[in-house]
Amino acid sequence: MRPVRLDLDGFTVFRDPTTVDFTDTDFFALVGPTGSGKSTVLDAICFALYGTVPRWGDRRAIANALAPSAAEARVRLIFESAGKRYVVTRVVRRDGKGAVTTKAAGMELLAPGLDLAKLEFGLEQSDIAEVLAGTPSEVDTAVLTVVGLPYEQFTKCVVLPQGEFAAFLHAKPAERQKILVNLLGLEVYGKIREKAQTEAGTAETKLKVLDDQLHGFSDIDDAALAAAVSRVEALRAVAAAVDAIVPRLGDADRLAGQAASALATLDAEIDRLSAVSVPPEAANLAATAATARAAVAGAQDAVRAAEEREEKLRGELAAAGDATALRRLLDHHASRARLVSEATSVRATLASAEAQHGKAADALEAARADASAARLALEAAFEAYNAAMATDQAVALRPGLREGEACPVCEQTVHALPDMPHEPAVIKAKKAGEVARKRSTAADKAVEERDRSARDLDRALATARAHAQQLERQLAELERALDGAPPAEALQRDLDGIGALTRRLEQAGAEVRKAREGHRNAAGAADRAEERLRSAWRAFDTTRDGLAQFAPPPANRDDLADAWSTLHGWATGEAGRRRAGRPAAQDEVSAAQRKVADVRDELAARFTEAGLAAPGGDPARDAAVALERADAARRRIEERRADAAKMREQRDDLAREAHVAKALAQHLRADRFERWLLAEALDTLVEGASRTLRELSSGQYDLGHEKGEFYVVDHHDAGLRRAVRTLSGGETFQASLALALALSEQLAGLSAASASLESIVLDEGFGTLDTATLDTVAVTLENLAARGDRMVGVVTHVGALAERIPVRFEVHRDARSARIERAGL
């Protein structure tokens, strides 16, 4: 992991947006006064990647990420890993209740060649090649995959914060082993071991299944196969014997069927002849039909007499005249009387309307004259009002007039002063004008009312005149229609006579309908009687035709009862003769059935001898099915013997695979192969750290390890071996730095995993070094950075060290926020 750019906004002391650009930087220093925020830059890198900071001590202390009084903090880190660039962002917010949580987090793989100088704080979606994570938990997983180190190991190998610089040096063997396993990618061997153990377990499970299956093949030995072959041969002999017996059974069944059929035919003939009987109604049907035909003739005569009476009355009614025309003339007489009365009333109404119309016209003229006079009076009052206004204006000048002085209006000399009126003339004129206006308004209203009344009378008079004219026209039309017509009394007498004839004709029509209904009923009864007689003959013919094969005697077609009696006597004699021959037919059926039973007993004996169930309706098929089943059982034994042979071959292969997988799992156990690899890696690590430590300590110390614990060899004390925990603060710093540089410089080359130690940042203890040691540390760091494949960073306030570092990020802090400025190259 190699930082490229860090953006801060609202994070701890960096209240304002701040950017640290590490582009083209291989060796840098973070410098500034104590408390200015140097270590906060390393905190921000850790927080962006892992969501926590070593100095907080707990992920739940995330409120420390917010600057004082800030509601939101943003941290974004752009970094390189294995030649690819990534950006990881975390946003912390404080809600309305004061709770602080990481509300947003994301990680993206940047498009190759992206110009970071064009980026603002926050990436555009179009610049993102691939989104890797969108939630805090997803970011944690993605960072572990890309960086290759968990948080605890990252802070021991890459970013070494204050208080954690010597953590790898003082770590317990088990913890140090975990770090090296991740760095070297040795977990792959653990996965291979687990895979081998899984394969061994799977193979053993399959072996057990195969053993259980092979145990189930105990019934397919040579004896079982021989028994199956013998069974097939025995059933083949039974099938051949059955094939020879079956034709005899068919002949016996056929003879038995013929005998049974002959007996059944004889019984059917006896039943058919015995079923002939004379119907009870055969003797009465002919007489009933003759009576019904006589009733039809009487009903026809009654219909003819009723129709003659109806026709006579119809002629008399036609001679009496047209009742409709007579009734129309009688209605004209009534209408004329009504119109004469109505015309008299309308004439009186018209005379009254004409009189009222004349009075209304006179009143309208009088009202118009009054209105004209009122308007003249109103105009006079208006002129008087204008004159009064002029008078009052002149009176208003009276107090200013003096005898012998000039008038201010006409400029004439005033000889005598006019008298002052008791009240203004305008008031009196206004009162007179109000009276004239009211009178004019009332007169105009009266004209409107008279005019409206006159118009109403005009319409009423026009309506009355139109009504009178209409009545006169109707009376003239009625007079023309009644010209030469009989009087109303004569017309009424003629209509009464026509009504009496009409009633008699209706009664005659009812009698005709009744007679016709009686004729229809009689005809229906006759038809039904005839149909019953015909049905009886059809039933006789059907019965006789059903016995035609027995040659019945001829029938008397004139007498139904005699025909039935003759047929019944003949059928009774024929049935008696057939009953006499039935015992012999029964004996033939019994003999044939005994023959069938004997053949079936012979077949059953063959099946019993072969151990088969008694045969069914098709013995040959039953024998063939039994033979096929036995042969299928033989083939199944042969197939299972072949399957068992294959399973034994599979078992041998699985046994070999299980042995190989188990042996591989044993060889790759953590206490064997992995421990050997870790020992080799630790030897390489300690060898490189010792070279650096000898330089830093001026040849005093070498670093070694035994049983997972580090120790130093003190050459200034006769090669005394000392535990690393006995070193002083400065000596511990030297040993820790040597170990950290060895981790960064050498183990990355040994690692087969995705972890890539492309940078190292130190935040610890340079102030505890003397001048010579400090110079040695600086040279060591310069040589490491000069190689170009590692970024080396230090956090220091030691000026002598900072001046030797080509790029310095100077951290300043005021009352509001910290800020960072780049100095050097």
pLDDT at 186: 57
**Residue 411 in 3-state DSSP?**
coil
Q: Read off the amino acid at residue 5.
A: R
pLDDT at 139 over 90: yes
- Cα distance between residue 674 and residue 669, in whole Å: 7
pLDDT at 752: 41
Following DSSP, what letter does each residue of 685-720 receive, concatenated? HHHHHHHHHHHHTTT-EEEEEETTEEEEEEGGGTTE
For 515-553, what is each residue's pLDDT tens digit?
888 888 888 888 887 788 788 888 888 888 888 888 888
What residues contact 797, with CB distance under 8 A and at least 6 apart?
Answer: 31, 32, 33, 34, 38, 767
- For residue 227, give both structure tokens: 């028994």
pLDDT band at 217 (very low <50, low <70, confident <90, very high): low
pLDDT at 123: 44
- For residue 120, give both structure tokens: 């603002």
Give the residue among 697, 781, 779 at the shortest CA–CA distance from 734.
697
pLDDT at 519: 82
pLDDT (mean) for 803-821 = 89
pLDDT at 509: 83
Q: Parallel, antiparallel, or unpaired for β 72-81 and 2-9?
A: antiparallel
For 606-615, what is each residue's pLDDT tens digit?
778 777 777 7
Q: Say if residue 342 is exposed, middle or buried (CB neighbours under 10 Å; 0-12, 13-18, 19+).
A: middle
Which residue do the tokens 């511990």 mark? 732
- Cα distance between residue 816 and residue 4, in whole Å: 27
Phi first, then psi: what are they for 689, rounded to 5°? -65, -35
pLDDT at 157 over 70: no
pLDDT at 756: 61
User: Worst-scoring range by mean pLDDT, 37-51, 79-93, 237-251, 576-590?
Assistant: 237-251
pLDDT at 762 over 70: yes
Is 370:358 a contact under the CB 8 Å cutoff?
Answer: no
pLDDT (mean) for 119-138 = 69
**Residue 145 in 3-state DSSP?**
helix
Average pLDDT along the chain: 78
User: Worst-scoring range by mean pLDDT, 294-303, 725-734, 764-773?
Assistant: 764-773
pLDDT at 79: 92
pLDDT at 748: 46
pLDDT at 295: 83
Would you say the C-alpha torsion 742, 746, 751, 754 has a positive or negative sign? positive
| Residue 363 vs residue 715, higher pLDDT | 715
pLDDT at 654 over 50: yes
Angle at which helices 619-667 and 187-215 pack, to 10 degrees?
Answer: 150
pLDDT at 362 over 80: no
CB-side neighbour CA atoms (13 Å) of 191: 7
pLDDT (mean) for 670-687 = 71
pLDDT at 5: 93
CA distances from 333 to 62, 485, 493, 524, 697 (A): 121, 10, 15, 56, 159
Q: In the chain, how many H helices and how many E strands?
A: 19, 15
pLDDT at 401 over 90: no
Q: pTM score, two decimals?
A: 0.43
pLDDT at 87: 92
Element (H, E) at 31: strand 27-31
- DSSP E strand boundaries for 753-814: 759-762, 791-795, 807-813
Rounded to 5°, angle at Cα 162 from 159 and 164: 70
- For residue 22, give both structure tokens: 């590490």
CB atoms within 10 A of CB 460: 16
pLDDT at 103 over 80: no
**Residue 436 in 3-state DSSP?**
helix
Q: Parallel, antiparallel, or unpaired for β 72-81 and 84-94?
A: antiparallel
pLDDT at 184 over 60: no
Bridge partners for 791 per DSSP: 759
pLDDT (mean) for 137-154 = 85
pLDDT at 2 over 50: yes
For 379-389, what is each residue's pLDDT tens digit?
887 888 788 77
Cβ burial 755-778 (10 Å sphere, 16+ → b, else e):
bbbbbbbbbbbbebbeeebbebbb
The gap between the terminal CA atoms of the chain, to the nearest Å, is 23
Is 20:795 a contact under the CB 8 Å cutoff?
Answer: no
- For residue 87, give both structure tokens: 């950006």
For 443-483, what is each residue's pLDDT tens digit?
888 878 888 887 887 887 788 778 777 878 877 877 777 77
pLDDT band at 17 (very low <50, low <70, confident <90, very high): very high
Which letter does DSSP use for residue 682 in this model?
H
pLDDT at 809: 92
Give the residue among 316, 636, 350 at the shortest CA–CA distance from 471.
350
Share of residues in the chain with pLDDT > 70 (%): 86
- For residue 275, give both structure tokens: 């079923």
pLDDT (mean) for 405-428 = 74
| Residue 424 vs residue 800, higher pLDDT | 800
Share of residues in the chain with pLDDT > 90 (%): 8
pLDDT at 89: 93
SS (H, E, C) 458-479: HHHHHHHHHHHHHHHHHHHHHH
What residues contact 522, with CB distance under 8 A and at least 6 apart?
Answer: 292, 295, 296, 298, 299
Bridge partners for 721 per DSSP: 713
Is 553:570 a contact under the CB 8 Å cutoff?
Answer: yes
What residues contact 595, with CB distance under 8 A and at least 6 apart?
Answer: 252, 255, 256
pLDDT at 751: 43
- Cα distance between residue 437 and residue 375, in whole Å: 8
pLDDT at 685 over 90: no
User: Worst-scoring range by mean pLDDT, 297-311, 591-605, 794-808?
Assistant: 591-605
| Residue 616 vs residue 815, higher pLDDT | 815
Is 42:75 a contact under the CB 8 Å cutoff?
Answer: no
Which letter does DSSP use for residue 422 in this model?
S
Phi first, then psi: what are they for 123, rounded to 5°? -90, 150
CA distances from 21 to 7, 31, 85, 122 (A): 9, 15, 14, 15
Largest CA distance in the chain: 190
Phi first, then psi: what are they for 707, rounded to 5°? 55, 40
